[in-house]
Structure 1
Amino acid sequence: MRPNVEATPREVEAQATDGRPEPQTSPLEALTSELSGDMEAVNRLIRERMVSENAPRIPEVTAHLVEAGGKRLRPLLTIAAARLCGYSGEHHLHLAAAVEFIHTATLLHDDVVDESERRRGRPTANLLWDNKSSVLVGDYLFARSFQLMVEIGSLRVLDILANASAVIAEGEVLQLTAASNIDTSESIYLQVIRGKTAALFAAATEAGAEVAGASGEQVAALAAYGDALGLAFQITDDVLDYGGRSARLGKNAGDDFRERKLTLPVIRAIAAGGEADRPFWTRTIARGDQREGDLEEALSLMARHRALESAHETALAYAARARTVLASVPAHPLRDQLETLADFVVSRAA
């Protein structure tokens, strides 16, 4: 049975009472439930630290995004890595909150750069307020994240997250320079998504293991897991944008096409189509001259060249890598859950 990850608690209860079977719990929900005590503490810390006495717009903008029902996957990975490595203190809570603030700050900045109008199914902050507010509140959250890191008192942890922040910004700038260039290679695409997504996944798991005092081998393994999971996650999201299930992402189907983003399905469709299809991609992506029916034509070309299936296969390969690198981490129920999570991340596009 395919897990029903969309059902709300009320829907689950209703299904149970009308005789139909209760949906299975997804691996993400199971991990969230397992670590619910820590995550509740992290959420309290986030709410405390996003407050500003002097600028009330800061908590207004932050709350709009933070309270919009995000999965909290990155701080969850930090908590899981720390607990998996036997940590029993409280520094991982500050670390997880810092990771979520970095993530939220990058979303605020991204929506300005991309001129986005929808995030997690709601209007973006830059649309409700303005670009200046989004950028400045994002800056504030970056500052808050570094305050939380300093409170942990570990230069190594600070180094991990500071480096990740730099890589994230680097990836965003690289994406800008490669935007709408239909000659963008797969290697550039992987650099971009490693910066915009995988870097924070890897930092979340690496820092969680580091704060727990894990061995160098275990820290490296969990960093590699986060990197592979992040790549699998982002490629799957890029497939979903064209796969007709974008409602799960809080986006409109085809947003990446309309925003002229060179994601893996498009890159592979362009490469496979050669000179015959190049005029279409030049007009729609390179020049931005998009007309009625162009999204349907793009989907048709992707189907002809198996671009979506091929990209999904690549995501599956990264998920397999994520599971493999965990072999050097001692056996633990949380390790099993992280392995299952890797499969779940790519199953969304199945």
Structure 2
Amino acid sequence: MGLDDVTVKPHERLAAYLADDMVAVNALIAERMASEHAPRIPEVTAHLVGAGGKRLRPMLTLATARMCGYGGPYHVLLAATVEFIHTATLLHDDVVDESGQRRGRPTANLLWDNKSSVLVGDYLFARSFQLMVETGSITVLGILSNAAATIAEGEVLQLTAAQNLATNEAIYLQVVRGKTAALFSAATEVGGVIAGVPQEQIDALRDYGDALGIAFQIVDDLLDYQGDAGATGKNIGDDFRERKLTLPVIKAVALADEEERAFWKRVIEKGDQRDGDLEHALALMERHGTLDATRADALRWAARGRDALERLPEHELRDMLFDLTDYVVDRIR
């Protein structure tokens, strides 16, 4: 089940509640992605931004700021900042992964070239820093700049860890915190910072974003092995074919006997994949219960997210964030 396959859609309720703010965010994105001297910048950016997406990360910033009683203009600036950082990472990721499709459309590196994708991504990172500086908050600047550095660090770590059987769950979690959860937690934390709420509430918002991001990525990795391709937009076993060590495989390697470990070494480390290998990999994961164990991990992280929300005052938006947390993991129940 994908995020669009149920009647009740928490991210759509959130979008409806924040509709006016999101109009302002989209207008600001369109304004700031312009370039007087390099027309390719808005061409490339518009291609990716126009492909859609749920805008979940900027909505988290808007929602947490509103939930904390913020009434100024800077939540819009920060939501646009978060989306610029996210879009920049997507442009870079597609080059690193040699991807040909994103959100059902050809990637920018395929339509233009790798150089354009990398340089436009760099431009969006620079724009994001210009935006965050406009808030005048050194705390906000610290949170988002640290997130940007953590994202880059996580991507580099993944390069060395993704095809190394020595990668364990602690390293996997470090990668996930970098590539996914860092921006989720920064997006939620800055909403509380600009609202000026007490530090314990800011900590709760950060913990919520961290847990939500980790649960989100674990679910995504699990669906690669047992999701509906029509709903997820991915074929079963894409990560396996790309030799990515994600959590279900890491758990299987940890429990493998000598023969099984030789199989994982051949297909992941050496990239020698043959007919029937995916089916054998799935059978090994079933034998050791690693798909169920991965599902349990995702549910535990979702529960941590809900626990963090419990530390915040009651609010209609808090209830929506509860529902969103359940929604992320409902795909694997």
TM-score category (smaller protein): over 0.9
Structure 1 SS opposite 2:256: helix
- How far the C-alpha of 1:273 sits from its partner, in A, is 2.5
Q: 1:233 and 2:222 equivalent?
A: no
The one of 276, 289, 292 aligned to 2:259:
276
Counterpart position of 2:168: 185
Distance 2:275 2:263 in 1: 13
Distance 1:152 1:295 in 2: 50
Aligned length: 333
Q: 1:82 and 2:59 equivalent?
A: no
Q: 1:199 and 2:197 equivalent?
A: no
Alignment of 1:299-314 (within 5 A): 299-314=282-297
Q: 1:333 and 2:333 equivalent?
A: no
Structure 1 SS opposite 2:83: helix
Structure 2 SS opposite 1:88: coil
Counterpart position of 2:82: 99
- How far the C-alpha of 1:5 sits from its partner, in A, is 4.8
Counterpart position of 1:145: 128
Distance 2:228 2:120 in 1: 31
2:65 touches 2:194 (CA, 8 Å); kept in 1? Answer: yes
Structure 2 length normalisation: TM-score? 0.96
1:104 touches 1:141 (CA, 8 Å); kept in 2? Answer: yes
Structure 2 SS opposite 1:329: coil
Counterpart position of 2:331: 348
Give the 4+ runs in structure 1 shifted more than 2 A: 4-7, 244-253
Percent identity, aligned pairs only? 67
Distance 2:68 2:194 in 1: 9
* Pairwise CA RMSD: 1.5
1:5 touches 1:25 (CA, 8 Å); kept in 2? Answer: no
Structure 1 SS opposite 2:274: coil
- How far the C-alpha of 1:24 sits from its partner, in A, is 2.4
1:121 touches 1:249 (CA, 8 Å); kept in 2? Answer: no
Structure 2 SS opposite 1:273: coil
- How far the C-alpha of 1:53 sits from its partner, in A, is 2.1
Counterpart position of 1:217: 200
Alignment deviations for residues 1-47 of structure 1 (CA, whole Å, 9 cap, x no partner)? x9x8536xxxxxxxxxxxxxxx6221111111111111111111111
Distance 1:67 1:224 in 2: 31
Q: Relative contact order, CA 8 A, sep 6+: which one is greater?
A: 2
- How far the C-alpha of 1:179 sits from its partner, in A, is 2.4
1:102 touches 1:141 (CA, 8 Å); kept in 2? Answer: yes
Alignment of 1:33-44 (within 5 A): 33-44=16-27
Structure 1 length normalisation: TM-score? 0.92
Counterpart position of 2:4: 6
Letter in 1 for 2:217: Q
Structure 1 SS opposite 2:227: coil
Distance 1:47 1:5 in 2: 26
Q: Which runs of 5+ in 2 are unaligned?
A: none
- How far the C-alpha of 1:246 sits from its partner, in A, is 4.1
Counterpart position of 1:257: 240
Distance 2:70 2:117 in 1: 36
1:272 touches 1:305 (CA, 8 Å); kept in 2? Answer: yes
